[in-house]
Structure 1
C-alpha cells in the first residue's frame, strides 16, 4: 500500500508528488495518457505564464534554474505587445511603467522574476525529473475507472488492477474522473463564450493586429509565434471540446471576431474551450482530495488556472505528508480546503468579471471604457498586477502581524544565504535575526520538522524572528525580542507536538 496515490501527471499532480516525495512519502502517480508529451502541451499552444507566486514555489525547492534552462532562461518571447512584467485584464494590457512595487511594505529584493514564460511540456519535464529522483512511481497509460474508500484507506481501480493507498488525490483536470467517482458536488456558472486556440497557415495575417484585440463581436489574440491565434466567440459556449473544430468553422469565427477577410489555408492544430466557471463545494471527501482543475475550472484568461493549481499542490503537500507521518496537529488537513477554497472562488470571480467586460454588447462596451480608465491609473494597474502575480493572497491564520498568512519575503542573511535557499528540504523554517538563545532552545524541540537559522539580515523588516511553513507562508512573526512561548504556540499549531525526547 502506498501512502498516497495521485491521479493525473500534469503540473499539479507532479508538483504534489514532488512535495510528498521530498517529505519521504511513498507516492504512486497514475496517468491515463501513455506518453508525457503532446502538441497541446508544447509551444505554441501549450505556452503559459508562471506568476511570481508559482515561480517562488520552484525557487524554494531549487528548481528555478532547471525551469529557466528549459524555458529559455525565463525570457518572455512575446515581445512588446505582451510585456513580461505586465499582463492583461480582459484583453486590456497593463502598462509595465505604471507597476510600482515600492508601496508593498514587506517585499524584499529577490532573484525570482515577476513572470516566467514557458509551456506545459517544459514544466512537466522539470517536475518529472525531480519526481523520479525522489522515488515517485509514475505509471502511464492507466485509466482509473473506480474509487472506493473506508476509514483505513482508498483503492483506485483501472481495469483488473487495483492500487491501494492511505490517501488519494485527484489532479486529473477539468473533466476529473476522481471528482465524479468520489461524489464531489460541482457548482458554478455556465459559459458565455467558446474560445479557440490554433496554429495555422493564414493568408492575410498582416490584417490581424498583434496582441489582445477586443472587437465589437468578441476578441482575438495574435500571439508572437507566426500563425498562433486565439479567439473568443460569444455563442453561449455552444462549441466545446466534444467537437473537433474544422478549418471552415475556425475561419468563419476568426473572420467574424476580427472583422477581416483572412483565409485559413491550413490548420496545423486547434483546440476549443469555454468560460464555464465551476468549483467543488469541498476539496475533501474522506480520504479523497482534489487539487487544480479537478477542484475548479474557469476560462484561461489571465493564466490563473495553472498557477492556482500549483498553489493548491504546494499548500496540500506538506499537510498531507504530516498526516501520513502521524505528527499533524488536529485539523491540519482540513486547513487545505479552508485556505485554498476561497482562493479558487476568488479566481473564478476574477475570470467572470473579465468575461462580463468582454461581452460584445453595449453593456460590455460601457464597462470596458470604465475599466480602461481605472487600469490606466497607477493604483488601478497596481491592483490588477497584484491579482495577476499572486501577491494578493493572504490566508487568515489569525495573528496580529500583517505578514502572517502571506508569502515570506526572501530575507538575505549576513552569511549570504537566502530564505529560498533554506527551504529546499521541504521543512518549516525559523529565521532568528537576533540569535536569541531562548528561541533557539525552543526551536530545537521541532528540529526534524523545522529548520533553525540565525544571524543578522541585510533587511529584517523590523522583525526579530519569523516562522515559515513549508509552503513559504509566514505562520508567526516576532518583534525585536521574540517571545519563545508565542513561537511554541505557533509551532504546535502547524507542526504538531514537539519531540518529547528533546
Structure 2
C-alpha cells in the first residue's frame, strides 16, 4: 500500500511531493499526460511563495539569491506604489511556470519521488483505512491502494469529481483574453521605462495592466521574449467551431483595445511560444478541501481570475501547508485534528484571493461608472495605509492562522531573521523541519520529548522576539519577547508543541 498518491504533476503536485519526501514519506505521483506540455500558464511568482521557495533552497535554482521586494505593482490595472508602504512584503520573481515546474520535477527526482507519466486516475473508492484507485496507464488498467489521495489535477479535477466534492461558483462569459509571444518594432520602445510608446496613449509601462474603455492591454518584456496580452468584453458567445488563434487575431485584438494598429512580429527563439485565446472567467471554490482520505490542493480546490498573479502563490502554499500535516499523520505523531486544520487555514486564504481578484476584475471593466470608481480608488491608492493594506493582501502577508497567544507574530509568517553568525532563517528551513529558535538560551528543556520532530536553534537575532516556534510551512506557532520566559511563556510553548507536533515521547 502506498502512503500517499498525488494525482497531478504540475507545480502544486510536485511541490507537495517534495514537501512529503523531505519528511521521509515517499509519495507516488500520477500524471495523465505522457510528457510535460511546456505550456506557460503563468509568467512569474508573486508574494509569499517567493519567500517560501527561498526557505526551501529553491529560489537559488531559479534566479539566484532572494532579491528585494518590488518597488511597484499593479492592482486592478492601477499602479501600486509600494514605496508608500511601511512594510513592503511583495516579492516578484519573473520566472515562467514551465521553468518552475521543471525545477520542481528535478528536485522531486533528487528526493526519490516516483512520477508515473501517462497514468490517469479513473476511479476511486475509500473506507476508514484506505483509498482504492483505478488507474489506466500505458500497459492498461490497474488498481492501487493508498492511505491518502491528494488531487492536484487542476480546475477540472477528476479527483474532486470522483470524491463527490462540489465546486460551486460562476463562469463570467463576457471576457475574451488573447495572449501571444510577439515582437514589437524598436521604434516603439521607451528606453527609460522599458515600456512602449503608443500613439494616443503615451508610454505604456512594462508589465502594467493598461485599461481603455475597450479593454485591457499588457506588454511584458520577459527575457525569453516579449508577451502581449489583451482582454476585451464581448457579448457574443464562443463559436462552436472557432479556429485556433493566430498572430493576426492578436493584432486585431490590440487594435480594438488601443485603437491603434500596433505592428506585431513573429517571436524569436526556439520557443515554445504562447498563442492562446480564452473566453470567460471562472471563479469557483470547492465546498470542502477534504473528503475522508481524499484532499485537494491548488486549482483542484479553487479557480479564480489570474489578475495580479495569485495562483501559484496560493497553490504552492497549499502544498506547503498540507505536506507536513499529512506527513505527520502518515508517520503517526500528528495530534488529533491536525489534518483538519489544512482546510480551516487554507480555505480562508482562498476566499480572500477570490475576493480580491473579483474586486480587481470589477475595476478593469468598461463603463463611465467604473472610470469614476477608478478615479476615487486612485485617490485611495495614494494613502500609505491603503497601500499597506493592499500590499499585504496581494502578497499574502495579511494571513494569520489561529494564534495560541496574543503575541503579534503568533500565527503569522516568520520574519526573515538573520542570526548573529550570519545564518539566515531560510538556510535553517530547507529540510522542512519545525524549529524552536531560542535566543534566550533557556528553553531547551521545554523541548524534551519533541526532539525527534523539532530542532532547537540557539543564537541571537535582531528584533523584538526572543524565541519563536516555527512550523515547517514557515508560520509561527508560538513566540515570546521576554528576555527571561516565565512559567506562563513556558506553558504556552508546551501547549503549542502539543497542538502542532503531538504528545512528547516521554508522555
Per the normalisation by structure 1, the TM-score is 0.88
Residue of structure 2 in register with 1:275 after alignment: 281
* Inter-partner Cα distance in structure 1 for 2:435 and 2:495: 15
More displaced 10-residue stretch of structure 1: 141-150 or 268-277: 268-277
Cα distance 1:237–1:367, how it changes in 2: closer, same or farther (>3 A)? farther
Structure 2, unmatched stretches of 5+, are 189-196, 268-272
Selected match of 1:382 from 388, 397, 420: 388
Task: Write the deviation string for residues 1-55 of structure 1: whole angstroms up to 9, x where unpaired.
Answer: 21111111111111110110001112011112222251x22xxx6421332x112
Residue of structure 1 in register with 2:44 after alignment: 48
Residues 12, 309 of structure 1: 8 Å contact kept:
yes
* Inter-partner Cα distance in structure 1 for 2:71 and 2:123: 44
* Inter-partner Cα distance in structure 2 for 1:200 and 1:272: 14
1:323 partner SS? helix
Residue of structure 1 in register with 2:181 after alignment: 199
Residue of structure 2 in register with 1:141 after alignment: 118
Structure 1, unmatched stretches of 5+, are 77-82, 108-112
Residues 427, 469 of structure 1: 8 Å contact kept:
yes
Residue of structure 2 in register with 1:454 after alignment: 458
**Is 1:480 matched with 2:477?**
no
Residue of structure 1 in register with 2:337 after alignment: 331
Give the alignment of 1:36-75 within 5 angstroms.
36-38=36-38, 40-41=39-40, 46-51=42-47, 53-69=48-64
Residue of structure 2 in register with 1:215 after alignment: 212
- 1:435, distance to aligned residue in structure 2 (A): 0.5
Q: How many residues align?
A: 474
Task: Write the deviation string for residues 110-169 of structure 1: whole angstroms up to 9, x where unpaired.
Answer: xxx822211112111221222112111011122222222221211332221223211011
Cα distance 1:284–1:393, how it changes in 2: closer, same or farther (>3 A)? same
Cα distance 1:126–1:371, how it changes in 2: closer, same or farther (>3 A)? same
- 1:96, distance to aligned residue in structure 2 (A): 4.1
Cα distance 1:158–1:221, how it changes in 2: closer, same or farther (>3 A)? same
Per the normalisation by structure 2, the TM-score is 0.87
* Inter-partner Cα distance in structure 1 for 2:384 and 2:239: 38
Residues 255, 261 of structure 1: 8 Å contact kept:
yes
Give the alignment of 1:239-318 within 5 angstroms.
239=238, 245-247=244-246, 249-262=249-262, 269-273=274-278, 274-318=280-324
More displaced 10-residue stretch of structure 1: 119-128 or 265-274: 265-274
Residue of structure 1 in register with 2:193 after alignment: none
Cα distance 1:319–1:240, how it changes in 2: closer, same or farther (>3 A)? farther
* Inter-partner Cα distance in structure 2 for 1:146 and 1:456: 53
Residue of structure 2 in register with 1:441 after alignment: 445
1:174 partner SS? coil
Cα distance 1:476–1:19, how it changes in 2: closer, same or farther (>3 A)? same
Residues 433, 460 of structure 1: 8 Å contact kept:
no
Residue of structure 2 in register with 1:79 after alignment: none
Residues 239, 272 of structure 1: 8 Å contact kept:
no
Selected match of 2:402 from 396, 403, 406: 396
Residue of structure 1 in register with 2:9 after alignment: 9
Residues 87, 388 of structure 1: 8 Å contact kept:
no
**Is 1:155 matched with 2:155?**
no
1:93 partner SS? strand
Give the alignment of 1:119-198 within 5 angstroms.
119-159=96-136, 160-191=141-172, 192-198=174-180
More displaced 10-residue stretch of structure 1: 142-151 or 266-275: 266-275
Q: CA RMSD in A?
A: 2.6
- 1:235, distance to aligned residue in structure 2 (A): 2.6
* Inter-partner Cα distance in structure 1 for 2:95 and 2:315: 16
- 1:345, distance to aligned residue in structure 2 (A): 0.6
2:94 partner SS? strand
Residues 244, 271 of structure 1: 8 Å contact kept:
no
